[in-house]
Structure 1
């Protein structure tokens, strides 16, 4: 939902910009993790609790439409790469004091398709051995790989598609169940061409390499679920040909938001034109967001939206739509800020 809001903001801002009335810009917002660990958790350990997928299932290789029956893939190293990539991505964020990688695979059974949680006893043992207060565990990792080789004009073409799904969980000692479960799914695709099969085979990754790269790609983005992180977003402000508007825009372009706010507030107070007043109120909302005053930003976004609605009965009006979306974004930021305070122990 959040991504949909941001995309809609970008599209609406683009429409208004084409009329020369809006300038938009990129920002980074600090976003809380999906999972909130207790403040006492300073060290986490990444654990491989999955069973490697056997060589045959999930791998289909065809040459000119004929399926090959001597193919296989090896997934053992992919499990390690998945854990390593996740651990490195989490460690890159300045949140936990230490992120460790548990050396041993936990499960010894052969039920690779089965999603099995760590038991409370296993959680206690792993935390004692690793010195961690919490565990992030890879509880299942599955692949489906398709390799296809076919003639394409005067060359041989080859494609590899690897689809992967994973289950991640967070655990803490003293709990009968996991803290949260994260389901991941993604895919990677390769395409090459060559004059003959041998050369083509050297261009395309080996099955094991394709699995390892897909596993690392899949889990490396999952850090967002476990640590606060930065995300890109779009914002905008209205412009006008008036001198004071231009001065405020110049300050905003230089990220001098306090100065821009002062001018926009004076414009708002002096305006009798409701449209200009609504635009000034919208700019004040953005300005307050940029200086971290999210509640004030929400108040001014509501004022702006009310003024725009007074001027039209069209619910699809671009200004009404833009401010409606922005009000949702600011509401989400207030909620996110409260969650961040919890995650950093500020409450």
Structure 2
């Protein structure tokens, strides 16, 4: 159901101790917003496959052992677009953001013009929406996959090679709009493998090179997972840390942090900050306070304290110090989350 707040939520997964370094690390799970901000009334979506199957002779190359020339190969992309759209449907459904995600299995393209895109007509869009009782249609409108293999050597009758797969897709979101815009999201990515091209040979199975067909399926599922993050909020694991010092207030703040009592941790760390004249010590306390506010989902205060920590580290440490670099990265990350700069509102 589309009910997740657009603000960042946090849940502490675990705390890993490293007392000798003066830091204690924790891993948090952050809720990243969708990169494409669909209107709030889009509660049910249908996913469709609107591409023509890629011809076997397009997109596949081979450089044989001892050769520098590239040869064309054939590989079947049968059902790859189906793998992509079915996986996208599953990932979006598992995100639990929309009330319902439906996979529309009926074929949409009956022509053979692989290179030509044919976006859905308003009439076809409305038919699909009516059949699936959806508010919008997410359509795979273009899919091109390349596989490039290079052979390196032979051993025990098997060839050792590398295989690079590249995927390019265009997904459009169809729904009635006042200005008639059809948002399109382009996605390009690649995966790389190396190992033995075993075929019927059972040796070296632990370093087996996937077939081109297997590689295309893996690329399709990988792309579908990435694209699901475009249309729905998703959880990501992030590393965080706080500074420890042999001081009463810092230790008490740490005790509260261990049980996620961030409000009391802030009180203790602020007490230490206000009593200190040493800028490096103040910077460490400020960094801890920024973390506590981040855990409380108060990104405005978190950014102010992260900025203060960075300023104090810049004033008290060398240009190449780890503390300075770490605080700069953390300040930038909090600013990114505070502004939600990775969201794209395509309806404004």
TM-score range with shorter-chain normalisation? 0.7 to 0.9
User: How far, CA to CA, are the matches of 1:76 and 1:153 in structure 2?
Assistant: 32
Q: What secondary structure is seen at the aligned counterpart in 2 of 1:76?
A: coil
Deviation of 1:53 after TM superposition, in Å, equals 0.7
Out of 76, 79, 93, the residue aligned to residue 91 of structure 1 is 93
1:293 aligned residue: 298
Matched residues, number: 323
Out of 170, 178, 181, the residue aligned to residue 177 of structure 1 is 181
| Mapping of residues 132-211 of structure 1, within 5 Å | 132-147=134-149, 151-159=153-161, 160-174=163-177, 176-189=180-193, 191-192=195-196, 198-199=200-201, 205-211=210-216
TM (norm. structure 2) is: 0.80
Q: What secondary structure is seen at the aligned counterpart in 2 of 1:139?
A: strand
**Is the CA contact 2:170–2:184 (under 8 Å) kept in the aligned structure 1?**
no
2:330 aligned residue: 326
**Is the CA contact 2:33–2:232 (under 8 Å) kept in the aligned structure 1?**
yes
Structure 2, gaps ≥5 residues long: 1-17
User: How far, CA to CA, are the matches of 2:274 and 2:183 in structure 1?
Assistant: 51
TM (norm. structure 1) is: 0.80
User: How far, CA to CA, are the matches of 2:202 and 2:153 in structure 1?
Assistant: 11
More contact order relative to length (CA 8 Å, sep ≥ 6): 1
**Is the CA contact 2:145–2:167 (under 8 Å) kept in the aligned structure 1?**
yes
Deviation of 1:300 after TM superposition, in Å, equals 1.8
Q: What secondary structure is seen at the aligned counterpart in 2 of 1:140?
A: strand
Q: What CA deviation, in whole Å up to 9, does each residue of 1:20-44 have, x standing for no partner? A: 2332322111111011111111111
1:29 aligned residue: 30
User: How far, CA to CA, are the matches of 1:97 and 1:271 in structure 2?
Assistant: 52
The 1:292/1:206 distance shift into structure 2, 3 A limit, reads closer
1:305 aligned residue: 310
Matched, 1:270 2:275: yes
2:107 aligned residue: 105
Deviation of 1:123 after TM superposition, in Å, equals 2.2
User: How far, CA to CA, are the matches of 1:58 and 1:324 in structure 2?
Assistant: 43
Which structure is higher in helix share? 1
**Is the CA contact 1:46–1:100 (under 8 Å) kept in the aligned structure 2?**
yes
**Is the CA contact 2:171–2:186 (under 8 Å) kept in the aligned structure 1?**
yes
The 1:40/1:248 distance shift into structure 2, 3 A limit, reads same
User: How far, CA to CA, are the matches of 1:112 and 1:176 in structure 2?
Assistant: 26
**Is the CA contact 2:165–2:191 (under 8 Å) kept in the aligned structure 1?**
yes
User: How far, CA to CA, are the matches of 1:188 and 1:218 in structure 2?
Assistant: 14
Deviation of 1:184 after TM superposition, in Å, equals 2.8
